[in-house]
Amino acid sequence: MRQYYLMILVAAFIATSAHAGTITVYAAGPRNLDHALTVAFEKATGNHVKLWASSTGKVLARLQAEHSKPHADVVILADWSAGLVLQSQGIVAPYRPQRFFSKLRPLLKLPSSFLPMGADTIAIVVNTQRLSKGQSIKDWSNLTNVAYRGQITMPSPLLSGTASDFVLGFLQQPNEGGWHFFAKLKANGTIWPGPNAAALAPVKFGSRSVLMAGVGHTSLKAKKRGNSLNLILPQSGTLLIPRPIIILKSSKHLVTAERFVDFVLSRAGQQLVSKALLIPALSDVRPNPIWPSLQHAHFWKVDWVRMAKDRAATLSRFNATVIH
Amino acid sequence: MQLTLGAVTVRGALWVVLGILVLAPLTAILIGAIRPDLLGGVTASNLPSATLWSATRNSLLLGVGVAVIACTAALILALSMEVLAPPLSALWEALLFLPFLSAPYLLGLAWGALALPNSIFSRHFGPFSNLLSRFVFSLIGIAFITATHLVPLVYTMIRGYLAGTGWRYEFAARVHGLTRSATFLRITLPRLAVPLAAGALICFLAGIDEFGVPAMLGPYMGLTVLTTLIQSNLDVWPINLAAATRIAVVLLGMGLLAWGFYRHYDRVAGLDYSRPRSTNAGLSWTGVLASAGIAVWVLFTSVLPIAVLVILALLRADTLGIHWNNLTLQHFATVLMPGRSGFQALTTSFNLAWSSSLVALLIATLVAFAERSGKRIDHALDLVTTMLNALPGVVLAVALVLVWNAPWNPLPLYSHTALLFVAYVSVLLPLALRYAKTATTRVEPNLLTAARVHGVSQTTTIIHITLPLMLPPLIGGFSIAFVFAMREFVTSVLLQPPGTNTVSTFIFNEAQQGNSGSAMAMAVVSLSLSLATVGILYSLLWWKRRRHNTAGLRKTPSELLPANA
């Protein structure tokens, strides 16, 4: 009986999508990029894309809610460890062709069954109007200085996937000060006003001068619009967050889905990634010139698998001991 | 009355519709809470009971705070309007309804921006800036901001009650020699306990259900309530659908309890719609003073936050502050450009809003008529519909996903805009029912009998008697339902199908991507659209009343809210 239903549905579906393939993409932004990628892909291949653009958390929530009847073919996330979670659930169709993998930026060559489509960094963002002359921030440790008392905001790791990655990655670094650093931050009057955009708001409105652990492209976009913001990549290192592009095992349009991934990792696709102020995954496509030089930036080595494992315990400790 | 075949069919259809809209999601959520393994995916770690306990306590406090603040403010406002008869009362009443038009999360956002110390806004407040910041970023502040948009509702309940019962008790008391103040203290205030209790319970329900304001302001002080706890379990991974469902059941329990009490008052407070002739006593200094007080209230609860939204929509670069040369109309252009996603979101929301409002009102009217039979089974229809009051939006959204994406569900509604339509109708039904009940009470059975005795056909009766009588409250209901649908936030964000944006999902996504300018531009545009719609419908009502009524009965905007809410 159920098969019968299915056949009718499939027949109806084929009838309605007479032209090429149609795939459904769930993407975690930036929305302009998601939109530009699907439009360019449709133009280049004649396929059709149904796009749902949201945040990593919402995409994962939706995948889980749709667990018994999946709809998405391709998923783009803002968070590498979220991709690893999907992989460990066994719902990822492995797709990592060598022809792309070999051309990735060295830091993005990570063990996984899927590819990164780009990357973003965690940085310190300052409102240059609010900093007094001669004040300059070089590293995380500067932020516990009394000069920045009551001046710092940070996205809440409980509400922002990237900020939680930052905390987990930070704690994996032997020389950064660990939990002690966060305790000192708290003592210095730091607030955690919500996800990324909410944490940037007090800095944009001039109420505070420093956003720490902000995600790169959002602040750069604000800077590009003329805001007096500056992005600082700390000397001792920071986290580079690859953004996974994943084909789901449940997809009934694997071929079209693979073509979509191929397109995102093509030169044309990567240039769109660069234009959206993300760091392109391919090493021969340059990031937008508004980025500070990545050549000399230092990025941490992190164990993403362990990060995924430690997440729940670390976040509940952060909530209990730092935020409260 | 003998049930005809038609009546039976209508009732059958109503049960099917309500089964789909109400009973199925409720069942799904209860099953999900008992057997989380049926939800699929990861059933992650247990929720720490301390977190759940503190969120429950905060939700309760918020609910009580909202109820107390909204009732106090509404009582003062209603009595000032009623007793002191300030000049320009129609204008004040219209302005009192402004906060009702804007989504609470936008109010929260605006107040948050206003209250940040030393910001481009609060720099202009001098010594008050610190005070404001301490107030807004507190539980009381959150309760106050949530309460501001509920004040119009309680206000209407109080005035509807006073209008319905008239002042005859007070007259009697005065005739028997009670002083003016004694009459007020011993007659009027105790009498007002009825609409106040009903209003307090409605506000309590809305307070524990509120998501937007605590989500915008709560993180500043590490405050979590049940709704934000549900959202963080749904929104930030590790996603814990099972925990979210369990918290939802706690919230549902609180809601059902309050709603159980409320139903009692709903019947007591249910009163007729017509109002007495206004007693315009001319200018008096108390009236002018009352006007000034109301003006201050309007300034703080509507003008200030809306002005903040407008400024944010006009700023080119936020860090550069409020200067003429930092203003731009570009964000509005982005939102209003035909064919772009902002414009599409606006069209989608507009179409969803009017269609779901109409359908919700139609269902509600049928339920209200059925309920008049007095049969127990028909009362159950009413009970099931108002039960949606106790079902928070987040819970409803989760439940709708569970129902409409279930493998056994043959209707391919999920991931189509149609699901949003279903969700909106569910959300609007209890509201629509209040208006529909007000509307049906106006159609007295005697009138219909009289028509039948005089040999008027059923169609003519409907066109010339039933509809004209019901139209004013139904138009009022439509405009409020429309506003609600235009600003609907939680279910839209969670059920948004691929390729479709609504006003709220657009605002949410843009704000999350750091494009606060276009987010706020959309907020201002949709607010204006709602305002225009309500304005047009209200003028229509007013004009109609003017034309038909030689008795000079005054029509006030509060009639746009149900008298027996």
Q: Which residues pair with A7 in a beta bridge?
A: none
Q: Which residues contact A34 (CB under 8 A, 6 or more apart)?
A: A25, A27, A51, A53, A76
Instruction: Kindly state whether residues B353 and B286 are assigned to the same domain.
Output: no
Q: Is residue B6 part of a domain?
A: no
Q: Are residues B338 and B218 in the same domain?
A: no
Residue of A221, A224, A245 whose CA lies nearest to A97: A245
Any domain includes B307: no
Task: Tell me the residues of chain A between 48 and 107 that have a Cβ less than 8 Å away from chain B.
Answer: 50-58, 60-61, 63-69, 71, 82, 85, 89
Residue B238, pLDDT score: 67
Question: How far does chain A reach from its first CA to its final CA, in angstroms?
Answer: 55
A3 touches chain B (CB under 8 A): no
Min mean pLDDT across B216-220, B421-425, B494-498 is at B494-498
DSSP letter at B360?
H
Boundary-marking domain end, from B291, B321, B342: B291
Token pair listed for B183? 């009459």
Average pLDDT over residues B328-333: 90
The whole-number pLDDT of residue A6 equals: 52
Greatest extent of chain A over all pairs of C-alpha atoms, in Å: 75
In terms of Cα–Cα distance, which of B506, B472, B512 is closest to B486?
A: B506
Which structural domain range is residue B525 located in? 332-372+410-565
Of all residues in chain B, what percent carry a pLDDT higher than 90?
19
Q: Is the pLDDT of residue A13 over 50?
A: no
Question: What is the pLDDT at residue B558?
Answer: 47
> Which residues contact residue B333 at a Cβ distance below 8 angstroms, ignoring those fewer than 6 apart?
none
- pLDDT surpasses 90 at B250: no
- Smallest CA–CA distance from A315 into chain B, residue: B238
| Mean pLDDT within B328-354 | 89
A209 Cβ contact partners less than 8 Å away, ≥ 6 residues apart: A126, A127, A130, A131, A148, A151, A152, A203
- Interchain pair B512, A197: CB under 8 A: yes
Residue with structure tokens 């359908």?
B359
CB contact under 8 A, B237 and A57: yes
Cα gap A266→A100, rounded to integer Å:
9
Instruction: Give chain B's radius of gyration (CA, Å).
Output: 24
Average pLDDT over residues A19-33: 85
Asked if A227 and B401 come within 8 Å (Cβ–Cβ), the reply is no
Is B467 within a domain?
A: yes
Which range among A317-321, B70-74, B141-145 shows the weakest confidence by mean pLDDT?
A: A317-321
Q: Residue B141 — very low, low, confident or very high, per pLDDT cuts 50/70/90? A: very high
pLDDT at B3: 56
Q: What is the pLDDT of residues B52-82, one digit of tens each?
A: 899 999 999 999 999 999 999 999 998 888 7
Q: What pLDDT is recorded for position B563?
A: 43
Same domain, B348 and B266: no
The answer to whether the beta carbons of residues B306 and B504 sit under 8 Å apart is: no
Closest Cβ opposite residue B237 in set A67, A85, A221? A85
Residue A277 backbone class (left: φ over 0; alpha: ψ -120 to 50; beta: rest): left
pTM: 0.83
Q: Please judge whether B512 and A25 are an interchain contact, meaning their C-beta atoms are less than 8 angstroms apart.
A: no
Counts of helices then strands in chain B (DSSP H, E): 28, 0
Q: Tell me how far CA of residue B269 lies from CA of B147, B160, B161, B162, B192, in angstroms.
A: 21, 9, 7, 10, 10
**B556 and B475, same structural domain?**
yes
Q: CB atoms < 10 A from the CB of B471, how many?
A: 16
- CA dihedral sign of residues B19, B22, B28, B30: negative
Structural contact between residues B101 and B530, judged by C-beta atoms closer than 8 angstroms = yes
pLDDT bracket for residue A39 (50, 70, 90): very high
Establish if B557 belongs to a structural domain: yes
Angle, vertex CA A69, rays to CA A66 and CA A71, nearest 5: 75
Q: pLDDT tier at A4 (50, 70, 90 boundaries)?
A: low
Residue B272 pLDDT level (bands cut at 50, 70, 90): very low
What is residue B267's predicted lDDT score, i.e. its pLDDT? Answer: 56
**Residue where the block lists tokens 């005054």:** B554
Chain B partners within 8 Å of A161 (Cβ): 236-237
- 8 Å CB contact of B498 and A194: no
Residues of A in contact with B414 (CB under 8 A): 66, 69, 71
* Cis before B498 (ω within 30): no
With a pLDDT cut of 90, the percent of chain A lying above it is 64
Structure tokens at B493: 């964000």
Instruction: Give residue for tokens 């749709």.
Output: A66
- Residue carrying the six token digits 């001991």: A321
pLDDT at B557 over 50: no
Distance CA B44, CA A156 (A): 21
Picking from B284, B234, B230, the residue whose alpha carbon sits closest to that of residue B255 is B230
Mean residue pLDDT across chain B: 81
**B506 and B429 belong to one structural domain:** yes
In this predicted structure, what is the pLDDT of residue A18?
40
Please compute, for residue B217, the number of CA atoms within 13 A of its CA located in the half-sphere on the CB side: 33
* B130/B268 same-domain check: yes
Q: Could you tell me if B230 and B251 are in contact, meaning their C-beta atoms sit under 8 angstroms apart? A: yes
Kindly report, residue by residue over B77-96, the tens digit of the pLDDT. Answer: 988 887 777 777 778 888 88
Per DSSP bridges, beta strands A48-53 and A22-27 are parallel
Asked if B520 is an interface residue toward chain A (Cβ–Cβ < 8 A), one would say no
Residues B223 and B365 in one domain: no
Q: What is the CATH number of the domain that holds B128?
A: 1.10.3720.10
pLDDT score recorded for residue A48: 93
Name the nearest CA neighbour of B565 among B151, B7, B90.
B151
DSSP string covering A253-273: -HHHHHHHHHHHTSHHHHHHH
B-chain residues within 8 Å CB-CB of A204? 318-319, 516
Residue B358 lies in a domain: yes
B17 in a structural domain: no
pLDDT at residue B157 tops 60: yes
* Helix B189-209 with B151-165: angle, nearest 10 deg: 150
Residue A191 in contact with partner chain B when CB distance is under 8 A: yes
pLDDT value for B564:
41
- A198 interface with B at CB cutoff 8 Å: yes
* Partner-chain contact B219 A156, CB within 8 Å: yes
Q: What are the pLDDT digits (tens) for A93-134?
A: 999 999 999 999 998 999 999 999 999 999 999 999 888 766
- The complex's ipTM? 0.78
pLDDT band at B549 (very low <50, low <70, confident <90, very high): low
Distance, CA of A178 to CA of A163 (rounded, Å): 15
The whole-angstrom separation of Cα A198 and Cα A214 is 11
Query: Residue B21 domain-assigned?
Result: no
**A24 CB within 8 Å of a chain B CB:** yes
Among the ranges given (B70-84, B134-148, B383-397, B488-502), the one the predictor scored with the smallest mean pLDDT: B383-397
Segment B392-419, tens digit of pLDDT:
777 788 788 778 877 777 777 777 888 8
State whether B458 and B346 are in the same domain.
Answer: yes
Query: Residue B544 in contact with residue B559, Cβ under 8 Å?
Result: no
Nearest CA-CA partner of B330 in B348, B341, B342, B314: B314
How far is residue B435's CA from residue B563's CA, in Å, rounded to a whole number?
8
For tokens 């705070």, name the residue: B65
**Lookup: tokens for A281:** 């995954």
Q: Are residues B438 and B368 in the same domain?
A: yes
Q: What is the DSSP letter of A214?
A: E
Under 8 Å CB-to-CB from B161, ≥6 apart: which residues?
B192, B194, B195, B269, B271, B563
pLDDT digits (tens, 9 = 90+) for A161-210: 889 999 999 999 998 889 999 999 999 999 998 888 889 999 999 899 99
- Domain match, B229 and B361 both: no
Whether pLDDT at B270 is above 50:
no
The residue among B259, B291, B323 that closes a domain is B291
What DSSP designation does A282 have?
B
Examine the fold and report which residue of B237, B263, B291 is the final residue of a domain before the chain moves on.
B291
Quick check: A200 contacting B, CB < 8 Å?
yes
Q: Who wins on pLDDT, B282 or A247? A: A247
Q: Are residues B246 and B337 in the same domain?
A: no
Nearest to B407 among A60, A69, A311 (CB): A69
The pLDDT of residue B162 is above 70: yes
> Cα Rg for chain A, rounded, in angstroms?
21
Hey, is the C-beta of B45 within 8 angstroms of any chain A C-beta? yes
Given pLDDT bands bounded at 50, 70 and 90, which one contains residue A231?
A: very high
Tally of domains in chain B? 2
Compare A148 and B557 and report the one with higher pLDDT: A148
B318 interaction partners in chain A (CB closer than 8 Å): 204-205, 222, 227
Q: What are phi and psi of B339, to 5 degrees?
A: 90, -20
Tell me what percent of chain A is helix, strand and coil, each rounded to the nearest 5: 45, 20, 40
Q: Is B230 on the interface with A (CB under 8 A)?
A: no
What is the C-alpha separation between B503 and B501, in angstroms, rounded? 7
- What residues of B are in contact with residue A71 (Cβ under 8 Å)? 414-415, 498
Residue B380, in any domain of the structure: no
* pLDDT band at residue A262 using 50, 70 and 90 as cut-offs: very high
In this structure, the answer to whether residues B184 and B252 fall within a common structural domain is yes
pLDDT confidence of residue A17: 44
Instruction: Evaluate if residue A1 carries a pLDDT over 50.
Output: no
CA dist A98 and B535 (Å) reads 63
Query: Which pLDDT band holds residue B555 (cuts at 50, 70, 90)?
Result: very low
* Tally of CA atoms within 13 A in the half-sphere of B49 that contains its CB: 0
Do residue B513 and residue A30 have CB atoms under 8 angstroms apart? yes
